[in-house]
Structure 1
Amino acid sequence: METQLYFQMAQLEKQHWWFVARRTIVNHLLKRIPLSTPNQILEVGCGTGGNLALLAQYGQVYALELNEIARQFASQSHCAQVVAGALPDNIPFEPEQFDLVVLLDVLEHLEADSLSLQALLPFLKNQGWLLITVPALPYLWSQHDENHHHYRRYLKTQLQETVTNAGYRVIMLNYFNFWLFPVIVATRYWKRFRHQSDDDLVLPPPWLNKLLAKLFASERYFINWLPFPTGVSLILVAQKSN
């Protein structure tokens, strides 16, 4: 990811509608995962640490982050032990240490996505859990993906196959950011037509930011039982296979 984006994320991820709503939806799913107590959680690619306070409500949190600037920001949260590392070859933890591994918009940054998920398996306890979000739909590829150094956007079947082949059993998989999908698609194509910058890390006016957050976050009430036909992103819950 471009270095300046970490500074933008550190400033915006606590209040920007997209980050706020994603945390709300993730929290909704975490409440339904039967984690043991106490438990240990690993966030891979924690970025500047915007999710650590949420995850800390569910157990002791460790965070893995390659970028030094991001690690410095994440460490300021005091919610997790933040260490340097990278997938698939540098995971400085103990075997079967974690009850839950979380990758929130991280897998698309990894060239070897399936191999990286396989590498995490030994660090999950028996029947340990995996929670993933990724950007969806290759035709939505834009300058945003270039700036964030993405390798891909996923189809639903593609993500399921990647996770299953890596040794996990998929429990729940759905598109999300569905309500706002038409607006986001139209905006991206309009900017592409006008050759305008595709910068999503801009805070809208407060009233609009609050409205967008509420609309997006309301999908949590449907995500477990209503298969959305499409969406800007995908969310998956899986369990380590025996």
Structure 2
Amino acid sequence: MKRCLGCGGSFEGGWQCPTCNWQPETREGIYCFAPRLQRDAANPTDFAALAAVEERHFWFRARNRLILWALERYFPNCTDILEVGCGTGYVLAGIRDAFPQATIRGSELAAEGLKFAAARLPGVELFQMDAQEIPFRDEFDVVGAFDVLEHIVDDVRVLDEMRQALRPGGGVIITVPQHSWLWSRADDIAGHVRRYTADELAVRLRHAGFSCVLRTSFVSLLLPLMVATRRLHRNEHEPHSREFEIGAVTNRLLERILDLECAAIRRGARFPVGGSLLAVAVRR
């Protein structure tokens, strides 16, 4: 069901509200629900940099496999999926391939990012949107937000909006960076507001009306390397870009280590510490 951002009413059909006649802007065929906020969104060059490395970089590839496992494990029969903050569409493309029967949709605050996503996902509905005002109610089986919440001051509001966009029995899959003591210049450059602890995220999910069914750290086996690398480069002006500059042999080795970690999680292991955190929760 659609939600009018003008009067707050719910309706079916097209995007013109039958009560107040509000409708979103369209730009280059994409519905824009928060066009006034595009200037605050990510720099277009950030999306170009991501698009250039995601398909080969060990971290993105391993995270994708973990997300797809969680989706298949906890929501095997899902038919309607929304990714909030889909960026260049890399995760959404993986979901499309794993769930060809599902209707998938993606949103991003920066319309520039949606250009990359549209090229990667022809025919998939994409829209420019503020995660704090999701224009759907009781619409999706699953809503995903993958390394998105840490960029938003009022993350509880976003979680509440995600819950209201879900059908009864639906759920969320979330990944976020973990441990405030890992904070570095890379977080500043990425525009992070916070790094989470597992308990902090669980409390936020509970307050937003969710019951958490899974939480585990990941990038745990590589945590010592991550700590050492961030300390080594803590005074560099652009340490975030260096994290993408990895040789092919090293990249394959690190990916295999994270594959072992993912296999352990699939078998029931739950890691208490790690560079990132995965949570799955269902709407109460």
What TM-score does the superposition give when structure 2 sets the normalisation length?
A: 0.79
Does residue 124 of structure 2 align to residue 84 of structure 1? Answer: no
What residue number does 2:87 align with? 47
Across the aligned residues of Structure 1 and Structure 2, the Cα RMSD in angstroms comes to 1.5
Q: Secondary structure at the match of 2:86?
A: coil
Q: Name the amino acid aligned to 1:63.
A: G
Does residue 145 of structure 2 align to residue 119 of structure 1? Answer: no
Question: Which consecutive unaligned segments of at least 5 residues does structure 2 have?
Answer: 1-41
What residue number does 2:251 align with? 209
CA distances 1:150-207 after superposition (whole Å, capped 9, x unpaired): 1100011101101111110000001110010000101101112x54631255241111
C-alpha distance in structure 1 between counterparts of 2:181 and 2:74, whole Å: 32
Q: Secondary structure at the match of 1:171?
A: strand
What residue number does 1:60 align with? 103
Q: Name the amino acid aligned to 1:143.
A: R
What residue number does 2:198 align with? 156
Q: Is the 8 A contact 2:144 2:174 kept in 1?
A: yes
Q: Name the amino acid aligned to 1:191.
A: H
Amino-acid identity (%): 31
C-alpha distance in structure 1 between counterparts of 2:58 and 2:154, whole Å: 30
Does residue 45 of structure 2 align to residue 4 of structure 1? Answer: yes
Question: Which consecutive unaligned segments of at least 5 residues does structure 1 have?
Answer: none
Which structure has the higher relative contact order (CA within 8 Å, separation 6+)? 1
Q: Hey, which bits of structure 1, 4+ residues long, moved more than 3 A?
A: 194-197
What residue number does 1:226 align with? 269
Q: Name the amino acid aligned to 1:128.
A: G
Q: Secondary structure at the match of 1:32?
A: helix
Q: How many residues align?
A: 237
What TM-score does the superposition give when structure 1 sets the normalisation length?
A: 0.93
Does residue 279 of structure 2 align to residue 239 of structure 1? Answer: no
Q: Name the amino acid aligned to 1:231.
A: G
CA distances 1:91-140 after superposition (whole Å, capped 9, x unpaired): 233x2110000100001011100111101212101110110000000111
Q: Is the 8 A contact 1:169 1:239 kept in 2?
A: yes
Q: Name the amino acid aligned to 2:127.
A: V
C-alpha distance in structure 1 between counterparts of 2:109 and 2:147, whole Å: 15
C-alpha distance in structure 1 between counterparts of 2:230 and 2:208, whole Å: 33
What residue number does 1:69 align with? 112
Larger Rg over CA atoms: 2
Q: Secondary structure at the match of 1:227?
A: coil
Q: Is the 8 A contact 1:16 1:203 kept in 2?
A: no
C-alpha distance in structure 2 between counterparts of 1:208 and 1:190, whole Å: 18
Q: Secondary structure at the match of 2:169?
A: strand
Q: Is the 8 A contact 1:175 1:232 kept in 2?
A: yes
C-alpha distance in structure 2 between counterparts of 1:67 and 1:223, whole Å: 33
Q: Name the amino acid aligned to 2:59.
A: W
Between stretches 110-119 and 70-79, larger displacement belongs to: 70-79
**Shift of the alpha carbon at 1:229?**
2.5
Q: Secondary structure at the match of 1:223?
A: helix
C-alpha distance in structure 2 between counterparts of 1:218 and 1:158, whole Å: 27
